[in-house]
Structure 1
Amino acid sequence: MDIRNFINLKSDELIKLSNDLKSVTTEWQVPIIIDCSNISQQNIPALLAKHPNLVAGRKYPGIYYFKILNDKIDNNNVIEALKHYKKLRERLCPKIENKRSKDSKFLYCGSKRVDLFSRFLQHLGLGHKYTYSLQLLHWAKDLGLLIEFNYCFLEKEQMHLTELIEASLTMAIKPLVGKLVK
């Protein structure tokens, strides 16, 4: 079997994706500051009142990351707290790889094709227990962890690029936990 034709088709597809990526512009929204000791369902309306774009952008694809703001927080403590909670098997949590550098100030990076707002709530720990997410409410409460949720929306026509952009961002910021998309 001659696979040259298939290789050429894939090459053309990758060239098109490369050109599409070059045309992407991102406008980062005002970051959301989260005090992990104060996460609750009751605090969400006040938080969203300060960040209406998160809800308004529900129909658009989004890219996001969580950044640790505390300079004095030891990343090893953060990872160990998440590992401990993950062992309880109460909720699904992100992948933790021991070989990753512990020097990053970035906790997690992700993308969502639609409804970034719901994904944000899942990461806070206010979603379903069988959804892989940070589940911050359930393990980070006692760490004194202050984090920043940074996000941007893409055009609907760029939805097919969300994973590629996430992979690029993940490789650049090297988050402490979550899948490493390449």
Structure 2
Amino acid sequence: MNNAGITSPTRFLDVTPAEWDRILDVNVRGSFLVTHRVAAGMAERGFGRIVFLSPVSAERGGGVFGGVAYSAAKAALLGFAKALACELGASGVTVNSVAPGLIDTDITQGKLDEERRAAMIADVPVCRIGAVEDVADIIAFLARPESGYLTGATYDVNGGSHIH
């Protein structure tokens, strides 16, 4: 489960090369290093489940709090997962992504005011913020041995706020 990452609300015209590199290093290189470490063993055993967490901002180019560097890094993970699914599928290893929308965590570190939060929830067709369990349930489903025919897909967990 590739779930580590950092965000940055810095606008593209204001982002420095150092900030860009920091965001991509943690989000993309970090996922590469962890996945690279475990994938060979999974392929040798003939079984494995890899899941990338890549929020909705990767699909729509922006999100609740992440700027362009964050969205670009998370979009790179979607491509990484698809390519890896093609490469590892014959070895019994599946690779999928989960793209959550607004979930009840504090990724914004308290910087999302209540008025904006309420407006965002009002735009969600199911009329609520997502729970951590909403995301955990799909990850657990994808990790099951019985989910061996599901690979290379992105599963949206956003209450309908990003229908494409």
TM-score range, shorter-chain basis?
A: under 0.3
Question: What is the TM-score with the length of structure 1 in the denominator?
Answer: 0.25
Higher helix share: 2
Rg: which structure is higher?
1
Higher strand share: 1
Question: What is the TM-score with the length of structure 2 in the denominator?
Answer: 0.26
